[in-house]
Amino acid sequence: MSATPEISIYESTFAKSDKTDAILVVRGKKLHVNKGVLSYHSEYFDDLFNGEFKEKSMQEIPINDVKFEDFAATLSLLQHNPIKPTGENAERLLTIADRFLLPVVKPSVELVLITSDKDKLEKIRIADEFKLYDLLNHAAMLYTSYNQFNGFKKTWAYRRLSDNTKAFLFNRLLTILGCDK
């Protein structure tokens, strides 16, 4: 007799139930979802399920160009028992949240990043890219002396930051220098 393959936490989180009414297929794996929940939290899914698209009438809707585990982890954040994000997958989940217009996902992932061991410049880069104000504020507060800003402008990350984030960091430097009194 052959053993039944063990299903992953991702597949079990999205198993068929009486509360699911759609199937999303990512790389051949099925996610049973609730159209109403996804439509409520995402304009993308609202358009997909309720707009004039061919997917509206499809039994199984393919989702392309995403990693199954990351997509499932992102959607799970809409459920009562989510798969917890990690510092390792946080940025990928934020990318999926942006692509599929799921703003409700961002605060959970932002909290993970705040408590992660990523360095402060990496946190600032991610905060800037995904417009995460609490993460930006947290990372900026990790700069506590003028010396920590030394050479900062020459880094690759600094050059890629938005002007708003650069201004925010400049204000932090002014506070450290006591110029805000």
Q: What is the pLDDT of residue 173?
A: 93
Q: What is the pLDDT of residue 56?
A: 65
Q: What is the pLDDT of residue 3?
A: 61
| CB burial readout 78-112, b (16+ within 10 A) else e | beeeebebeeebbbbbbebbeebebeebbebbbbb
Encoding tokens for residue 181? 């009194």
pLDDT under 70: residue ranges of the chain:
1-5, 54-56, 180-181
Q: What is the pLDDT of residue 102?
A: 98
H helix runs in the chain, sequence order: 9-13, 35-41, 43-50, 68-76, 90-99, 106-115, 120-130, 133-141, 156-160, 163-176
AA identity, residue 53:
F
Q: What is the CATH number of domain 1-116?
A: 3.30.710.10
Q: What is the pLDDT of residue 80?
A: 86
75-86 pLDDT, tens per residue? 999 998 899 999
Q: What is the pLDDT of residue 77?
A: 97
pTM, to two decimals: 0.89
Q: What is the pLDDT of residue 171?
A: 93
Q: Which helix (H) or strand (E) holds 33?
A: strand 29-33
Q: Residue ranges per domain, the chain? A: 1-116, 118-181
Q: What is the pLDDT of residue 7?
A: 76
CA neighbor of 127 nearest in space, from 117, 137, 142: 137
CA neighbor of 113 nearest in space, from 102, 122, 104: 122
Neighbours of 176 (CB within 10 A): 16
CA neighbor of 78 nearest in space, from 137, 19, 8: 19
| Exposure on the CB side of residue 143, measured as CA atoms within 13 A | 25
Q: What is the pLDDT of residue 55?
A: 66
